[in-house]
Amino acid sequence: MAGTEITSAEYIKHHLTNLTFGYHPDAGWGMAHTAQEAAEMGFNAIHLDSIGWSVGLIALFAFYFRRAAQRATAGIPGALQNGVEMIIDFVNENVRGSFSGKNDLVAPLALTIFCWVFLMNLMDLVPVDLLPWLFSLVGVHYMKVVPSTDPNVTFALALGVFALILFYSIRIKGVGGFVGELTGMPFQTDNLLLKPVFMLVNLVLEGVNLIAKPISLSLRLFGNMYAGEMIFILIALMYSGGWLIGIFGGALQFVWAVFHILVVTLQAFIFMTLTIVYLDMAHAEHH
């Protein structure tokens, strides 16, 4: 990294620091030049690397799927069409198995979520020093290339799903039906004196359950991918421990990368499946 000697702690901190633009209390708006400056920007900070890689990956997804649609043929399909059709069939099968309502948005949404999260997770398999080193050559000193290791990204995805849950809950059941769902279960009574108490207790319980959906969606994805990234960083540190430890680190990195492919795919699948299930619950009317 720039040919300078750094400690293991500095190396880890460098790889876990985002390329940050924001408002610094002392210097005004600008780029953060150290991890401390990035932290001091607080809420007034934008992670340019997370946004850039996220937008770039969704654009890549849209480009190849649009290309496959334009070149689709009823004859012998090419490799791209085969791959796209396999993914679409896989997503449709999961939607049919988990979503009992009728909504033309769910399948495209599930497809987008699965592919987008998968591509963001897949960036974790790029050697941890490669892209940061390439960007350092043009003066960019911080570069996190795995958007799903940024809680801002995972929370943004989860909040988008949460907004759809609220929208369809109110649209299908009405405001009264949605509020009744939150206050009418699990405890019920015909006693007029106890009914307000039960409604309040139900609201607290169901409210916690409702809020837990976006939190669990975001933190599950972030936690698993952050842990995977950290392991890759720790393995990379082994290359500075001599040739024997370096060879062992290379073998360990290969084994972890093979295992991590399952994690990358599984986390994308879980995020997609929970989104489908939550939207199915939003469409279900309780009587």
- pLDDT at residue 4, rounded to an integer: 56
pLDDT tens, position by position, 207-226: 999 999 999 999 999 999 99
Q: Which of 164, 44, 43 is nearest to 110 (CA)?
A: 164
> Residue 241's CB: how many other CB atoms inside 10 A?
11
Query: Residue 275: its pLDDT value, please?
Result: 96
Residue 78 DSSP code:
-
Tell me: the pLDDT tens digits for 131-161? 999 999 998 989 999 999 999 999 999 999 9
Residue 28, class by beta-carbon neighbours within 10 Å (0-12 exposed, 13-18 middle, 19+ buried)? exposed
What's the confidence (pLDDT) of residue 192?
A: 77
Q: Is 220 a catalytic residue?
A: yes
Question: What parts of the chain have a pLDDT lower than 50?
Answer: 1-3, 287
- State yes or no: is 216 an active-site residue: yes
Q: Give, in order, the Cα–Cα distances in Å from 148 to each of 153, 157, 225.
A: 6, 10, 6
The predicted structure's pLDDT at residue 1 = 43
Q: Which of 103, 136, 152, 220 is catalytic?
A: 220
Per-domain boundaries in the chain = 50-141+148-283
Q: Per DSSP, which regions of 97-229 are E strands?
A: none
**pLDDT computed for residue 3 by the predictor:** 45
Give the active site residue among 44, 100, 216, 240.
216
Residues 6+ apart with CB under 8 A from 111: 87, 88, 91
Q: What is the pLDDT of residue 2?
A: 42
pLDDT at res. 7: 86
